Chain A
């Protein structure tokens, strides 16, 4: 028998159609689990498979779509049993048909959302998929079909599970909306970048749309995808008739559009919801003689985040360099303090300043880099949708970050040393990614352009052995300061020019090194940057907050024509600054006290900076910040101001504290603290805005706050309180269902630390309820918790 993988893309192949909607017509009740029919009504399942095989399909989707351990829980059957029986029925139908056909292990969404959005750990999702994949291969499936998935992160878990635990080909079809987005926001190019990076065998769409709507998204898929394309649409968009969902596109109409789809590049066709054996029969009769277009390498150099792809091309890209402790005392302090929030703010600022990609480097000798890297990458991906450049020389940190990264990352870096290539390339081959390649090797940094080009060629050849094409490599020809040798710029630029323009490989530079040791570095750096851009620099690692560098960038893009109709340039510089907005008024000159009371963040920062020239930090806190906060807090409790006003003041006070922290970090002293408070949203609850408000206010009043985040297990809260000798714990819960977990947490806390105090808050709570679950204090609003904490720590 010819293997599926050998036929894929060389001749038209046909999937079967719907299972679920047919089962509904045979009596499956709403909410009933279709996969259980493998066990209870196997004859019906067998007949459906047979009817599709009679229609002529090449691939039967086994009835295993939802047979994961989460959905099988409490059904009396295990995932393995249902998958095994599902594959068995499909194989039985194939052997009864007496011709060559394949059985797909059908793997659908787990129906649960992964962290950080939901409550399922990435590795727990991986384990659930692993169980299905192992059972499916063992039962004799010919391929894995991961389908109807709409979250790139879940897709990554499923693909890794299939690739690491089976030898089966992997086909992935996703559910896009009419706007070309997955439900979690990814566009087609982002999803394809991720999947090609993971080296799946075919990519396509299923469900959600009818053939007409899917056809509209096909050109974009075709533009970016170098693999065979699969199309399994519904029989039209769902229409609700008297409250019931129907699919109305008939077999002939369906097949007519499918023929056009096949002619424009899809080589595997089938159907999803609402399609029947008649639909599939019609498709096969119209499309079987089409010679499929060969899937060709599109040659794109792409990385991606969970939402979009960034392509290295004629338009240079900015890689923000600020998430890096080198030479930054405040950043180092943040790493030591595990202060993720500080790092995330750096990420947001760089995005606002126009970065396309963010470099992430958290290497500091005294911290556990792999776990910090993992936490930082995951953390940044909760707030910033830019692709990340994972910057580390620690291979464990690199692999852990690559595994949990939601997208196709840029890796920084590999170099020409055999040891480096041996370590990095296997990771890229497995997880996908583009790689920054430093033009140096065992002999050091070559002192000629020719030497650096030779190292680049060596790296490219070695990458090839791993199936990593040069489109996924970015060569760094190493900018070195001209203060130690003025020929340095020519070596860097000549090799860069050759590599980009003669060899057709992308280039990157850490631009600012050029001016090391010179005064007014930005002047030289900007000039060098502009020259490098004109010589073929594809991406630059810079500080996007530098106005002169960004001016050079926008000007260059307008001049070289990659900024079409100077759109971005005009947008950037045509008086956008004059637009009135809420933030425009933030920088009035005023006293620190007034700035806090009025909620003016920037003014508060400036005023604090000014005051700190003459005043001790502690005096500034006691005489200016705290009195202002007290006034605002009182206003809130008397209801003369309301929540957003309180919060604007809290933010302004925070800016004042930032100014103080900068001064202290420079001196190398820590800020003084009233005491430490642990806060968390309890297990099972994913709401945290209330908790975040309490956190900022506590910090304003000089408490050290250990924020454990949301959905936090009682054990972790207890352990953290024990480890840090904390006597006050603040818990938040929003729903009646999670108040139960609050009660459990309080019980455990009281058992472990009898003299600790627990304050609670959240929408469903009141004094009676709080008393019932054993809390020491019920805080009706954010200010209540401040009052309680102050009283407690003054005793």
Chain B
């Protein structure tokens, strides 16, 4: 894996400001330090899937009430639930650098966010290949907390995938994940190829967000 520098800079709020060599070096070195210390792990499992009305999803053993997810999964016969993490080194580095060098802490934060996305993309590629062999196509991945999909769904996902035991991912009472650079998501597998892949920011209603891509 590589650290996507463009994404890292975006998470840092970069808007084309002038950077001196010192700062460039700091960003590159810190990204590399993080990259050298990560331990990516993932787990996924496929379930049968169907939607009922416009806001109920049946996914394996789960019945989920969510308009946005139902829309996302409409027409899918199967869906994959996955969990992925780059491990706890990003959290450790952030903690250390919060004490000694905040600028580096912010870079680890940003590079970590970029890395987990890259890792999820590669995992999605594997799932896509496997699905293609069965003439199934992937819907955009959808995570708890997106739209009206409740964050509390994390509890079910963690139980079903045994995240704690399998990949060392744990959940707080308030449904936050540790290690923090982790993602859980649902990916619908549809018999229809649907090329209408929209940027994920389009679906978000936080229009004031600094990191919005469109």
- Evaluate whether A243 and B22 lie within 8 angstroms (CB atoms) in the complex, with A111-B170, A642-B17 already known: no
Q: Which residues of chain B have C-beta atoms less than 8 A from A119's C-beta? A: 172-174
B106 near A693: Cβ-Cβ < 8 Å: yes
| Complex: chain B residue closest to A735, CB-CB | B176
Distance in angstroms from A571 CB to nearest chain B CB is: 17
B94 near A689: Cβ-Cβ < 8 Å: yes
Q: Is there a chain B Cβ closer than 8 Å to A518's Cβ?
A: no
Stretch in B41-49, B65-73, B193-201 with 4+ CB within 8 Å of A? B41-49
Among B45, B160, B165, the one with the most A-chain Cβ atoms within 10 Å of its Cβ is: B165
Q: Is there a chain B Cβ closer than 8 Å to A619's Cβ?
A: no
B180 near A651: Cβ-Cβ < 8 Å: no
Q: In the assembly, what is the distance between CA of A773 and CA of B155, in Å?
A: 26
- Evaluate whether A243 and B78 lie within 8 angstroms (CB atoms) in the complex, with A640-B17, A736-B151 already known: yes
A696 near B172: Cβ-Cβ < 8 Å: no
A599 near B103: Cβ-Cβ < 8 Å: yes
Distance in angstroms from B122 CB to nearest chain A CB is: 15
Q: Which residues of chain A have C-beta atoms less than 8 A from B156's C-beta? A: 31
B46 near A685: Cβ-Cβ < 8 Å: no
Q: Which residues of chain B have C-beta atoms less than 8 A from A341's C-beta? A: 99
Instruction: Give the residues from 82 to 132 in chain B that come closer than 8 angstroms, CB to CB, to chain A.
Output: 88, 91-92, 94-96, 98-103, 105-107, 109, 130
| Complex: chain A residue closest to B12, CB-CB | A643
Q: In the assembly, what is the distance between CA of A30 and CA of B44, in Å?
A: 12
Q: In the assembly, what is the distance between CA of A581 and CA of B88, in Å?
A: 25
Q: Is there a chain A Cβ closer than 8 Å to B140's Cβ?
A: no
Q: How many interface residues does chain A have, given as a range?
A: 35 or more
| Complex: chain A residue closest to B157, CB-CB | A31
Q: Is there a chain B Cβ closer than 8 Å to A547's Cβ?
A: no
Q: Is there a chain A Cβ closer than 8 Å to B57's Cβ?
A: no
- Evaluate whether A738 and B174 lie within 8 angstroms (CB atoms) in the complex, with A643-B106, A644-B23, A689-B98 already known: yes
Q: In the assembly, what is the distance between CA of A298 and CA of B22, in Å?
A: 50
Q: Which of A184, A692, A766 contacts B105 (CB 8 A)?
A: A692
**Chain B interface helix/strand/loop/mixed:** mixed
Q: What 1/0 mask marks residues of chain B from 187 to 205 whose CB sits below 8 Å from any chain A CB?
A: 0000000000000000000
| Complex: chain A residue closest to B133, CB-CB | A242
Among B20, B78, B106, the one with the most A-chain Cβ atoms within 10 Å of its Cβ is: B106
A117 near B23: Cβ-Cβ < 8 Å: no
B88 near A117: Cβ-Cβ < 8 Å: yes
Q: In the assembly, what is the distance between CA of A32 and CA of B29, in Å?
A: 45
Q: Which residues of chain B have C-beta atoms less than 8 A from A382's C-beta? A: 95
Distance in angstroms from A479 CB to nearest chain B CB is: 32
A344 near B99: Cβ-Cβ < 8 Å: yes
A647 near B99: Cβ-Cβ < 8 Å: no
Q: What 1/0 mask marks residues of chain B from 1 to 34 whose CB sits below 8 Å from any chain A CB?
A: 0000000000011110111101101110100000
Q: Which residues of chain A have C-beta atoms less than 8 A from B168's C-beta? A: 150, 183-184
Q: Which residues of chain B have C-beta atoms less than 8 A from A362's C-beta? A: none
Q: In the assembly, what is the distance between CA of A184 and CA of B88, in Å?
A: 8
Q: Which residues of chain A have C-beta atoms less than 8 A from B98's C-beta? A: 688-689, 692
Q: Which residues of chain A have C-beta atoms less than 8 A from B15's C-beta? A: 639, 642
B174 near A735: Cβ-Cβ < 8 Å: yes
Instruction: Give the residues from 688 to 743 in chain A that come closer than 8 angstroms, CB to CB, to chain B.
Output: 688-689, 692-693, 696, 711, 734-738, 741
Q: Which residues of chain A have C-beta atoms less than 8 A from B173's C-beta? A: 119, 684
Q: Which of A148, A648, A711 contacts B103 (CB 8 A)?
A: A648
Q: Which residues of chain A have C-beta atoms less than 8 A from B178's C-beta? A: 113, 117-118, 686
Instruction: Give the residues from 127 to 174 in chain B that come closer than 8 angstroms, CB to CB, to chain A.
Output: 130, 145, 151-152, 156, 158-160, 164-165, 167-168, 170-174
Q: Which residues of chain A have C-beta atoms less than 8 A from B17's C-beta? A: 639-642, 645
Q: Which of A29, A111, A240, A242 contacts B61 (CB 8 A)?
A: A29
A148 near B176: Cβ-Cβ < 8 Å: no
A242 near B46: Cβ-Cβ < 8 Å: yes
Q: Which residues of chain B have C-beta atoms less than 8 A from A25's C-beta? A: none
In the A-B complex, list the 7 residue pairs whose CB atoms are closest, starting with the nearest: A243-B46, A183-B168, A684-B174, A647-B103, A113-B170, A31-B160, A582-B26
B91 near A31: Cβ-Cβ < 8 Å: no
Q: Which residues of chain A have C-beta atoms less than 8 A from B186's C-beta? A: none
Q: Is there a chain B Cβ closer than 8 Å to A438's Cβ?
A: no
Q: Is there a chain A Cβ closer than 8 Å to B214's Cβ?
A: no
Q: Which residues of chain A have C-beta atoms less than 8 A from B44's C-beta? A: 240, 243
Q: Is there a chain B Cβ closer than 8 Å to A207's Cβ?
A: yes
Q: Is there a chain A Cβ closer than 8 Å to B206's Cβ?
A: yes
Q: Is there a chain B Cβ closer than 8 Å to A687's Cβ?
A: yes
Q: Is there a chain B Cβ closer than 8 Å to A294's Cβ?
A: no
Q: In the assembly, what is the distance between CA of A345 and CA of B106, in Å?
A: 18
Q: Which residues of chain B have C-beta atoms less than 8 A from A30's C-beta? A: 45, 47, 60-61, 159-160
Q: Which residues of chain A have C-beta atoms less than 8 A from B102's C-beta? A: 647, 650-651, 692-693, 696
Distance in angstroms from B49 CB to nearest chain A CB is: 11
Q: In the assembly, what is the distance between CA of A585 and CA of B23, in Å?
A: 11
Q: Is there a chain A Cβ closer than 8 Å to B35's Cβ?
A: no
Q: Which residues of chain B have C-beta atoms less than 8 A from A181's C-beta? A: 39
- Evaluate whether A245 and B45 lie within 8 angstroms (CB atoms) in the complex, with A112-B170, A644-B12 already known: yes
Distance in angstroms from B153 CB to nearest chain A CB is: 12
Among A109, A185, A585, A643, the one with the most B-chain Cβ atoms within 10 Å of its Cβ is: A643
B100 near A345: Cβ-Cβ < 8 Å: yes
A185 near B61: Cβ-Cβ < 8 Å: no
Instruction: Give the residues from 338 to 389 in chain A that come closer than 8 angstroms, CB to CB, to chain B.
Output: 341, 344-345, 348, 382-383
Q: Is there a chain B Cβ closer than 8 Å to A175's Cβ?
A: yes
Q: Which residues of chain A have C-beta atoms less than 8 A from B27's C-beta? A: 644
Q: Which of B88, B95, B164 contacts A185 (CB 8 A)?
A: B88
Q: What 1/0 mask marks residues of chain A from 21 to 56 whose CB sits below 8 Å from any chain B CB?
A: 000000001111000000000000000000000000
Among B26, B92, B102, B151, the one with the most A-chain Cβ atoms within 10 Å of its Cβ is: B102
Q: Is there a chain A Cβ closer than 8 Å to B175's Cβ?
A: yes
Distance in angstroms from B149 CB to nearest chain A CB is: 11
Q: Is there a chain B Cβ closer than 8 Å to A244's Cβ?
A: yes
| Complex: chain B residue closest to A149, CB-CB | B165
| Complex: chain B residue closest to A340, CB-CB | B99
Q: In the assembly, what is the distance between CA of A8 and CA of B145, in Å?
A: 50
A644 near B26: Cβ-Cβ < 8 Å: yes
A689 near B106: Cβ-Cβ < 8 Å: yes
Q: Which residues of chain A have C-beta atoms less than 8 A from B106's C-beta? A: 643-644, 647, 689, 693
Among A113, A207, A696, the one with the most B-chain Cβ atoms within 10 Å of its Cβ is: A113
A651 near B174: Cβ-Cβ < 8 Å: no
- Evaluate whether A111 and B23 lie within 8 angstroms (CB atoms) in the complex, with A30-B60, A345-B100, A643-B13 already known: no
Q: What 1/0 mask marks residues of chain A from 219 to 252 whose CB sits below 8 Å from any chain B CB?
A: 0000000000000000000001011110000000
A118 near B172: Cβ-Cβ < 8 Å: yes
Q: In the assembly, what is the distance between CA of A735 and CA of B150, in Å?
A: 12
Q: Which residues of chain A have C-beta atoms less than 8 A from B180's C-beta? A: 686-687
Distance in angstroms from A22 CB to nearest chain B CB is: 16
